[in-house]
Structure formats: structure tokens, C-alpha cells
Amino acid sequence: MTAYQSPFQFGTLATEDNFIDRKEDRAMLKLLLSSHINVMLISPRRWGKSSLVKKAMTELCAERQDVRVCYIDAFSIGSEAEFYRTFASQVIACASSKMERWIEDAKKFLTGVIPQIVVNDQVTDFVAFDLKFVPQERDKMTILQLPEMLAKEKGIKIIVCIDEFQQLANLPEYKDMEGKMRSVWQQQQLTSYCLYGSKRNMMLNIFNNSNSPFYRFGQVFFMQKIAKEHWIPFIQTSFEKTGKTISAEIADKICDTVSCHSWYLQQLCYFIWSFTSQEVTEDVFALGLKQVLNINTPMFQNDTENLSSTQIEMLKAICDGEQHFASQAVKQIYNLGNPNTIVKNKKTLQNRDIIEKQKDDFVFVDPIYRLWFKDEYCG
């Protein structure tokens, strides 16, 4: 009997086989960024932003020999100095495929730096380029100008992609950084920027606030969920090609349970597939869902323990389908606090990306967190 590896994956960038649809999104990203229009891409966490950007940029590089793409993950950047070092290192590394050129370019464009080439993994020979220096005030503008200077010298176009961009706003020096970034980047002719993040309210405050330096920096792009009509055939085909079957009804139920959320859909399918010998049953579906809830419980507990009692009460009300928080009937059931507390809690829960407003109603951003919360607090 053939031993198959699970066709479902989560926690990593989607591979060719696991990348679903998003043809229009990919085409739009390629069109805007290759036309020198900056993009600010916003979607909830774990919707597949990073996979989308990587896929679109890989396609663009295959179509355009003059394009180079630089990827920076801002999530773990803990200081202004680290940002400038990372920015310089990644931009230099993307501009040339030859290690010798990395060192030459670093010495040519930056003063007082010590370039290092590090073999990170002896098995795969993965090579990383790193710069050891403490950026001085005079270096900061030069570093931000690096993509444009390198693009001019090499006759190329550079696209700088910064993931979880909103995390930079947590740095103490961000206001100064923000002004410098905008003033330098808006002058560039050969460099485009794709700035993407999962904290909707923080991203909107950076890019849609008329008082922000990044106001109208480019096109704000809201990523939509992949439609059920694309997921169901993907789920069924993935089971079939690994010697198992799943009905369209259960595939549909998976989509509804996770609200077509990319990460959770792959995670739930992964466990259902693992628990299935031949054909998926309702019992196996329930077992898979239980596993998804269990594996995410520590994260959900962490998200919930910092909430106040009135915020938890508001989530209970939303879970039960209530929206009229100020009505006496709702107040009698849920301890929501006074009107000021209700307004404040709505704002706080939105800023934390726990709830969002869809049309006229507040809903949970995370569909599995909603299921977990309902089990824990509304049973």
C-alpha cells in the first residue's frame, strides 16, 4: 500500500500544489507594483498574505528579467537599528545573486559596515547576508535610498516587500522612521513597495489617516477570502489523489465551519485526512475539529486572559447573536457596564482584531476562536 504524505499544509508558505486561486489578486499585485504603484495589502492574520505576495512576485520575476524582489519580515524586528540593518542587508542581497557582489556593494554604498556571509544550514547550504554595524543618523537616509541607488547602477527595478509592516509602529522611534521612509521612498523612480500586515486598524491608521506621513502613499488593497467554490474541488481532489475520499457535503461543511479561512481550512483538512483510512465520516470530521480546537487552545487562552470582564460579556453577547448592546433587555442578560464602557470595549476589541464590523453587525474575526469561546463561555 502506498504511503502518502498529507496534501494539506499550514504554518508555512503555500507551495505550488497548495496555492489556491487568487488569480485576480496576483494579476493586480503584479500590475500595480510593476507600474511603480506602491501597495498596502491588509487582511487578518493567517489568510495567506505572505503566500500571495511570494507567488505573485515569483511570477513577476519569471516574466520580467529586470525585476528583483526583496523580502523583509518586520514581525520580529525589535529596534530601529535592527530595522536599518535588516533593510540594508536584504536589499543588497536581492540586487545580486553573487555573494562577492554583496560585499562589494555594501562597501561601496555604506561606510563603516562589516559585511558577513553566513552559512545558516550546513545541510541545505542556505546562505544569509548580514551587516554588522550600528546605524548613525547620517546612515539612515542612505540606507533608505539603497534600493534606488542599486537599481540605477544595475539597470534593474527593485520591489521591497515588508511583511507585518504595522509592527514597526510599536518601536519607540517609529515616528521619526515613518517621516524618513516616506520622504525618501516617495522620490524613488525604480523602486516600488509592497507593505502588508494583519492588524487592520493599525494598518489603516498608518495608511488611511490624513495626518500620517504614509497617507496616500499608494493603493490600499483589502485581501478577500478564497471562495467556497474554489475550496471544495481542492479539498476533494487532494483527498482523491492520496487514495482517500471526502463527500462534497463534508467539504462544504469544512468551509462553513472555518468560514473559508485559509489557515484553519488547511489545518482542519490536515487532521481529518490524518484520521481517515478511506472515506471521511461525520465522526472523523468531529475528531478533526476537536483537534483543531485543542491545538489552538493555548493561543486562545492567552488572547482571552487579558480581557476585562465587561469585554468578555460583550463577546458572549456577540456569540449569542446580540448587537443592541445598549438595550435594557441585553443589559439584563449581560454585564456590559455603562454606555461609555460599551463604546470603549467595542473600540478595544476592534483594535485588538478580535471583532470587526461587517455591514451593521459585529462578528468575530477568527472563526475557530469564536467556536472555542462559545464552548468555554457560553455553554
What is residue 124's predicted lDDT score, i.e. its pLDDT? 44
Which three cell numbers, joined as nine digits, stand for 194?
Answer: 509592497
Task: Round to whole Å and give the CA distance between 203 and 167.
Answer: 9
What is the CATH code of the structural domain delimited by 23-222? Answer: 3.40.50.300
Rg (CA), the chain: 24
Q: Report H helices in the chain.
A: 23-34, 49-63, 80-95, 99-109, 137-154, 174-185, 200-207, 228-240, 248-257, 262-275, 282-305, 309-319, 328-333, 339-351, 367-377
Q: How confident is the model at residue 100 (pLDDT cuts 50, 70, 90)?
A: low
Q: How far is CA 18 from CA 6, 198, 235, 261, in A?
A: 11, 21, 10, 14
Is residue 137 within 8 A of residue 112, CB to CB? The reply is: no
Q: What residue ranges do the domains of the chain occupy?
A: 23-222, 229-297, 306-377
What is residue 371's predicted lDDT score, i.e. its pLDDT? 96
What is residue 18's predicted lDDT score, i.e. its pLDDT? 53
Matching CATH number, 229-297, of 1.10.3470, 3.90.380, 2.40.128, 1.10.8:
1.10.8
Architecture of 306-377 per CATH? Orthogonal Bundle (1.10)
Please choose, from the candidates 335, 327, 321, 324, the residue with its C-alpha nearest in 3D space to the C-alpha of residue 364: 321
Q: How confident is the model at residue 151 (pLDDT cuts 50, 70, 90)?
A: very high
Between residues 297 and 13, the one the model is more confident about: 297
Task: Enumerate residues 6+ apart whose C-beta is below 8 A from 223.
Answer: 25, 41, 42, 43, 47, 48, 49, 52
Q: How confident is the model at residue 2 (pLDDT cuts 50, 70, 90)?
A: low
Task: Round to whole Å and give the CA distance between 152 and 160.
Answer: 15
pLDDT digits (tens, 9 = 90+) for 4-39: 788 888 765 555 555 566 788 889 999 999 999 999
Please state the rounded mean pLDDT for residues 312-317: 95
Reply yes or no on whether the pLDDT at 198 is more than 90: no
Q: How confident is the model at residue 187 (pLDDT cuts 50, 70, 90)?
A: very high
pTM: 0.76
173 burial via Cβ count (<10 Å: 0-12, 13-18, 19+): middle
The string of DSSP codes covering 93-122 is HHH-S-HHHHHHHHHHH-SS-EEEEEEEET
Q: Apex CA 232: angle with CA 229 and CA 237, to 5°?
A: 130
Which three cell numbers, joined as nine digits, stand for 152?
Answer: 540605477
The phi and psi torsions of 90 (rounded to 5 degrees) equal: -70, -35
What is residue 247's predicted lDDT score, i.e. its pLDDT? 96
The phi and psi torsions of 154 (rounded to 5 degrees) equal: -100, -5
Reply yes or no on whether the pLDDT at 370 is more than 60: yes
165 burial via Cβ count (<10 Å: 0-12, 13-18, 19+): buried
Note the Cα 370 to chain centre separation in Å.
Answer: 20
The string of DSSP codes covering 270-310 is HHHHHH-SSB--HHHHHHHHHHHHHHHHHHHHHHHHTS-HH
Q: How confident is the model at residue 359 (pLDDT cuts 50, 70, 90)?
A: confident
Indicate the residue type of 25: D
Please choose, from the candidates 184, 170, 285, 220, the residue with its C-alpha nearest in 3D space to the C-alpha of residue 37: 220
pLDDT digits (tens, 9 = 90+) for 36-82: 999 999 987 777 788 889 999 999 999 999 999 999 999 989 999 89
Please state the rounded mean pLDDT for residues 250-258: 96
